[in-house]
Structure 1
Amino acid sequence: MVHFTRICFRKYGNFVDNLRLYVRGGTGGMGLPRLGGQGGNGGDVWVVATKNMTLKRIKDKYPQKRFVGGIGGNSSVRALKGDRGKDKEIFAPVGITVTSDDDRKLGDLNAEGDRVRVAKGGPGGSFCSAFQPGRGQAKHIRLDLKLIADLGLVGFPNAGKSSLLTAMSNATPQVASYAFTTLKPEIGKLMYKDYKQISVADLPGLIEGAHINKGMGHKFLKHVERTKQLLFVVDVCGFQLASQTPFRTAFEAVQLLTKELELYKQELVSKPALLVVNKMDLPDAQDKLQQLKEQLQNPDDFSDLLPDDMIPKNYITFRHVVPVSATTGFGIEHLKSCIRESLDEDAAMAMKAIHQERLQALRYQSHEHS
């Protein structure tokens, strides 16, 4: 089951969380038979964690997805030992697990500067090899953004995220510590009759201005990258964060949340998203829900309600808009069904994409050998 979960969710619109690359160590240099010289070893291929990098950026910059180490220098009369080939570095984001195509774990990139060697260069030619150089290791590898949960709850502090998580999971959310940050997300497990489990993370810290690192902004937003889908949670009656901040309607809250994600990283709003409209037990909730649905169907018609700096570049089209009351339990079972449906849909699409990719790889290999 773990294997299935790891590979199933590959990309969402423009968001890429899994990348398959071809890597090959450099070929060694030729030895010099008459003087017993030794060729230089081929360069290695490394994956190196660096800031401000995404898997999508790698995919866009290197469409061929092939990385090869430098060729070792030949032995010569002037230099009996050839120069070593240049190493090839693949710069990847922090929070990556590197595996081989046969699912063998090669290493984790938990902090900036962490390095994993993924292909060793071939040996230079020497007396032992009749002065003929060796080829470098060649393989396919996978870079996986480490996911902490299937869904991430996105909402302002008053929206009732923790209450919702408790109502859905029927348990006190587990507190899990992750090596890549000091923030401790609360993880709840949704249990289904067929024993399927879905993990949901409540990630505290999002407030207006999170994209410029107000509150725990960046720590929160970094975690949003590590969930497969987003579960927006808003108060149907709107909210006011503090006495000195403006009142926000449910529609404004949705767009403000979208804008915060967008300003931090445009790709985040490409993820599949569901909208939970909470606190349906409050007075006038049905009228306000109807108003919110109309606004979401034609957001451009209501954009004049928003300040210019709150209007997202792209409005999110939610797969499901689900009214609930975390307090009374209204709508919770329907929400769990919608969550399951959305994740199953992506799983089926991802498996189809993986099969097509492997078929293309087999065709490419047969074409190379023909």
Structure 2
Amino acid sequence: MEGFRGEPKNCYGAHAKHTEIKVPLGTIFNTEDGEFLTELDMLGDYYVGARGGAGGRGNKHFLSNEQRAPAKAERGAQGEMRTLCLELKTMAFAGLVGFPNAGKSTLLRAISRARPKVAAYPFTTLNPHVGMVQYEDSEQIAVADIPGLIQGAHQDQGLGISFLRHIERCSCLLFVIDLSMNEPWLQLSALKYELEQYGKGLSERPFAVIGNKMDLSVADENLGLLRERTNLPVIPVSAKFRTGTLELMIHLREMYDRVHEKKVLKEE
């Protein structure tokens, strides 16, 4: 919007009104080149994306003994013009966390109606996808398929920070472990390490461990080793053939109910 010019008898021109754009909580501001600027996470947060111009000076400011009615004025300065890229952090109750090709997208397709791209090469998922898991009592739980993580993600390796930002808003984490790989327990420790390096306490959120690709011959042995080395319960599934997904959905609902109950008690 533009301000108004000055009027006779030393009257100032009216200022232009601020242009305010409301955005959802969790909005990230980046430059055109992708450089991070800020993020708005709290109610009432704001960011000045571009400053308006400065008003000029009228002929009154150029009065002198020689010039009693100067036909001169000063133009105001132009306002800023910027291009900003806005990104919204994924809003989901649970986030699927795993290395590329762990089967996260296939798993999301198996438990929801979401249809993320699936292919047999790394980094098929370049942006988060959110699917709604439906229950018989009409409850729905949002689950996000987060782009694959690699070692060094907290230092912006691979999809790096762009991956980790979306994890921040998830109340629970679902670690998807590829049971076709040797030493699967190392996947879990590496994933938790990257999360903790990015944000202290992030890896300690409520979580479940999912052992995927149970349809493969080596999966049974690796499942046993994963349970033995981590001393954690592991939910075995084959996302490809949709086996074990019911147990996963039941466990997810239990996690959801516990978190929801804690929130209600806290509000009371």
TM class, shorter-chain normalised?
Answer: 0.5 to 0.7
1:55 is aligned to: none
1:262-273 aligned within 5 A? 262-273=196-207
Report the residue type matching 2:247 in the other structure. Answer: H
Match of 1:280 among 198, 206, 214: 214
Report the residue type matching 1:257 in the other structure. Answer: L
1:347 is aligned to: 260
Q: Deviations over 1:328-363 (max 9, x none)?
A: 1110011001000011011112211221xxxxxxxx
Residue 332 (structure 1) aligned with residue 237 (structure 2): no
Whether the 8 Å contact between 2:175 and 2:207 is mirrored in structure 1 is yes
Whether the 8 Å contact between 2:183 and 2:222 is mirrored in structure 1 is no
Q: Deviations over 1:99-144 (max 9, x none)?
A: xxxxxxxx455x6x68xxxxxxxxxxxxxxxxxxxxxxxxxxxxxx
2:186 is aligned to: 252
1:121-270 aligned within 5 A? 148-173=91-116, 184-238=127-181, 249-270=183-204
Number of residues of Structure 1 aligned to a counterpart in Structure 2: 186
Whether the 8 Å contact between 1:95 and 1:146 is mirrored in structure 2 is no
* Alpha-carbon distance in 2 for matches of 1:324, 1:198: 19
Whether the 8 Å contact between 2:173 and 2:207 is mirrored in structure 1 is yes
1:96 is aligned to: 41
Consecutive unaligned residues in structure 1, runs of 5 or more: 1-48, 50-92, 99-106, 115-144, 175-182, 239-247, 298-317, 356-370
2:81 is aligned to: none
Q: Deviations over 1:141-197 (max 9, x none)?
A: xxxx976101111100120000000011044249xxxxxxxx731111101111111
Q: Give the secondary structure class of the aligned counterpart of 1:334.
A: helix
Whether the 8 Å contact between 2:89 and 2:166 is mirrored in structure 1 is no
* Alpha-carbon distance in 2 for matches of 1:293, 1:349: 28
Q: Which 4+ runs in 1 deviate beyond 3 A?
A: none
Higher strand proportion: 1
Report the residue type matching 2:94 in the other structure. Answer: L
Q: What RMSD, in angstroms, separates the aligned Cα atoms of the two structures?
A: 2.4
* Alpha-carbon distance in 1 for matches of 2:148, 2:225: 28
TM-score (structure 2 length as normaliser) = 0.64
Report the residue type matching 1:213 in the other structure. Answer: D
1:352-367 aligned within 5 A? 352-355=265-268
Q: Give the secondary structure class of the aligned counterpart of 1:282.
A: coil
1:289-308 aligned within 5 A? 289-297=223-231
* Alpha-carbon distance in 2 for matches of 1:170, 1:146: 21
- Cα gap change, 1:152/1:171 in structure 2, threshold over 3 Å: closer, same or farther? closer
Report the residue type matching 1:167 in the other structure. Answer: A
1:323 is aligned to: 236
Identity %: 41
Whose Rg is larger?
A: 2
